[in-house]
Structure 1
Amino acid sequence: MNQKANEAAVRSDFEQANLQHDVDEKLFKEGIGSDHVRNLSRVKEEQLAIRLKLETERTAVAADSAKARLAAQQAKIDEQKALYQLKRSQVDALHVRAGIHGVLQLVPVDVGQHVTPGTNLARVADPKKLKAEIKIAETQAKDVTPGQIAAIDTRNGVVNGHVSRIDPSVVNGTVTVDVTIDDPLPLGARPDLSVDGTVTLENLKDVLFVGRPVHGQPDSTIGIFKIIDDGSEAVRVNVKLGRSSVNTIEIVQGLKVGDKVILSDMSAWDNFDRIRLK
């Protein structure tokens, strides 16, 4: 502001000197004024013109300098705003929020406890959207594929579902299979509830089958004791097995409908083809 005031004062002096020089020049031409006065007014006008030019340049430099200072201050303000937003986001991040709507089940940490990144701070579950995890023996998991029909017994009703995921790893001899529930959940269904699950691998019609023997493997031939003579004796017969489930196995050859067999471990009588039952 001071520089603009200086420029305005010099401009005013220059304009006055310019007018005075015009008057002196006119009087000199009319023979009234002297040449000396005319020259003095001309020199004063020229000096003030130079001063006005310098003051104008100083005003422009001051304006550019002010803009630069304002830009620097604005940059500092923007930097502080960004820092504030960062700190605020870090504070907001301290408030743990679940990514779903549900019910808080478990908080495994205590207030004030120091935890490492990735630590489970809480467990939230949606009781309306549950899945079943069933454990299947690793020897039978090879036949399970995504999309197969499954039935889940919740102890308060059986609901239908389908296999949605098969864990690639084996833990304690079992494979975890995730089943997505397709039916409405029965009353009492809640997270961590113990359930029984059955996966339908294949639907076979008109198949002869028995309970699964102790040592019976699919697509193999084994010796089984068949009960005869009203249950007083049993003879060994060779039976060809087919496909199997958890509790039953297909009989391809060696037995007929109505035959009774011994499914328990009879390895102690491997050297005998006929035994008497008591």
Structure 2
Amino acid sequence: MKIELTKNRYKRQKWLIAAALATGVACAAYGLTGTGIPDIDIDNLTFATVQQGELNLYAEAYGEFYSAKERLLTAPAQGKVAEVLIRPGAKVTQDTVILRLSNPKLEQELNQAKGLLAQQQAQKAAFEFEQQNQRLNYRGSIADIEAAIEEAELELSVNQDLMSRGVAAKIELQRAKLAVKQQKKRLVFEQEKYQQLQEMQLFQLKQRDIEIQQQQANIQVLTAQYENMQVRAGISGSVQALEVELGQSVQLGQSLAKVGSDQELIARLRIPQRLADQIDLNAPVSIDTQKGQVSGHITRIETLVSNGVVLAEAVLDSALTSNARPALPVTASIFMKTAPDALYIKQFSGMRPHSTQQVFVRDESGLARQKEVTFGELSQGKLMVKSGLEQKDEIITSNLEAFAQYAEISLVR
């Protein structure tokens, strides 16, 4: 008998549990089928109306300003950092001296080069006098030959006169003619030698000039190196990096500092990979600096994808805001395209782009019914509707998570 009572009690517990479950299921079915509709005060709710029309789609990006002009300062020669006059962040002009380097050997080489140039110039002047003397000697020889020709011609004329009178011998006349002919040949030969001498002297002078020019060029290089030991900014802007310390030895071409413009800026923006293909070159950009908007346009889009973003570069077209500077973080809206006849609503809390969600839609009967809505792009606070809604539909934007189990709710006052 004791065993039978235990069995009956167990059967009764099973029946009670089943009844409770059936009651819960019935209640749930009752709520979902709408036979029990909760009332909500309409004055405590907010609504958003679905609109339809032309919608400009923008890609949201983040990034920072960079200097449009940058200059890398390198060591003009081997040396040691003697002075550091400007630190990173300081404003500079084109002629501002940032560092001073010292190299006594370079100064000595410059002085030696200048001395050698002076020596070459003096040697050239002396050589020109030597050439002038050579030319005078040749001209003297030519003058002697010309005088000898005149003398021979005079003797020939006398012999011809005597021959006509029958006084002189014929052989004397032939000798006089031969003498004139020989002297004239000597004159032609000497003139040719004089001409060649002048041409040769021109080449010799040209060679000396080349040597002097080479030495002058060497001095210019050494002078530039010596003057550049005072490392100047080269452009107006600010010092962005200083890579050496006081007393440090540097080699020729070693990086010393970097200077960037602070009034001529560009924006480097990181665009989500899924949107990068929809952006064209020269696309308009609106850049937010927290103190205003700066307009620009895209000039370069990289093909490399890093951490899901693509780097793009924008040139600024309008005046900078007061806080604009290199490395300033910014956000940007980049124009992608225009959707000519799009459905959209103003974004509100909980509505996510590229998602499918349940929302309550108000109707004319005073009820709000749940609908499944698919959203598309979010652009400047406007969320595109892909499906589930029509123009002029009103969505409840208030938080109704507590009523998510109901298919519809009643709006009352």
TM-score, with normalisation over the residues of structure 1?
A: 0.65
**CA 211–113 in structure 1, closer or farther in 2 if over 3 Å, else same:** farther
How far apart, CA to CA, are the structure 2 residues paired with 1:26 and 1:160?
108
The partner residue of 2:192 within 61, 65, 76 is 61
The partner residue of 1:183 within 318, 322, 327 is 318
Unaligned runs of 5+ in 1: 229-234, 263-272
Amino acid at match of 1:106: Q
Amino acid at match of 1:207: Y
How far apart, CA to CA, are the structure 2 residues paired with 1:171 and 1:64?
76
C-alpha distance after superposition, 1:183-238 (max 9, x if no partner): 32121211221112223445677623545979863xxx73x35479xxxxxx9853
How far apart, CA to CA, are the structure 2 residues paired with 1:163 and 1:140?
14
**CA 82–162 in structure 1, closer or farther in 2 if over 3 Å, else same:** same
How far apart, CA to CA, are the structure 2 residues paired with 1:150 and 1:21?
104
Alpha carbons 1:10, 1:51 under 8 Å: kept = no
How many residue pairs end up in the alignment?
248
How far apart, CA to CA, are the structure 2 residues paired with 1:28 and 1:114?
90
| % identical equivalent positions | 19
The partner residue of 1:254 within 370, 388, 398 is 388
TM-score, with normalisation over the residues of structure 2?
A: 0.47
The partner residue of 1:125 within 258, 261, 271 is 261
**CA 16–67 in structure 1, closer or farther in 2 if over 3 Å, else same:** closer
How far apart, CA to CA, are the structure 1 residues paired with 2:310 and 2:349?
21
Alpha carbons 1:152, 1:195 under 8 Å: kept = yes
Partner of 1:152: 287
Q: Give the secondary structure class of the aligned counterpart of 1:241.
A: strand
**CA 246–86 in structure 1, closer or farther in 2 if over 3 Å, else same:** farther
Q: Give the secondary structure class of the aligned counterpart of 1:240.
A: strand
**CA 10–245 in structure 1, closer or farther in 2 if over 3 Å, else same:** closer
Partner of 2:298: 163
Partner of 2:91: none
**CA 183–5 in structure 1, closer or farther in 2 if over 3 Å, else same:** closer
Amino acid at match of 1:122: K
Unaligned runs of 5+ in 2: 1-135, 362-368, 407-413
C-alpha distance after superposition, 1:1-53 (max 9, x if no partner): 4344334334434433443454455456557x4x45x744x354234224312
Q: How does 1:1-278 map to 2 (within 5 A)?
A: 1-27=136-162, 30=165, 33=167, 35=168, 39-40=171-172, 42-77=173-208, 79-80=210-211, 83=214, 87=218, 102-110=236-244, 112-115=250-253, 122-127=258-263, 129-201=264-336, 207-208=344-345, 210=347, 217=354, 222=356, 224-226=357-359, 238-245=372-379, 249-254=383-388, 256-260=393-397, 274=405
Which structure features the higher share of helix residues?
2
How far apart, CA to CA, are the structure 1 residues paired with 2:182 and 2:218?
53
Cα RMSD of the aligned pairs, angstroms, is 4.3
Partner of 1:268: none
How far apart, CA to CA, are the structure 2 residues paired with 1:14 and 1:183?
90
Q: How big is the shift at 1:152?
A: 1.8
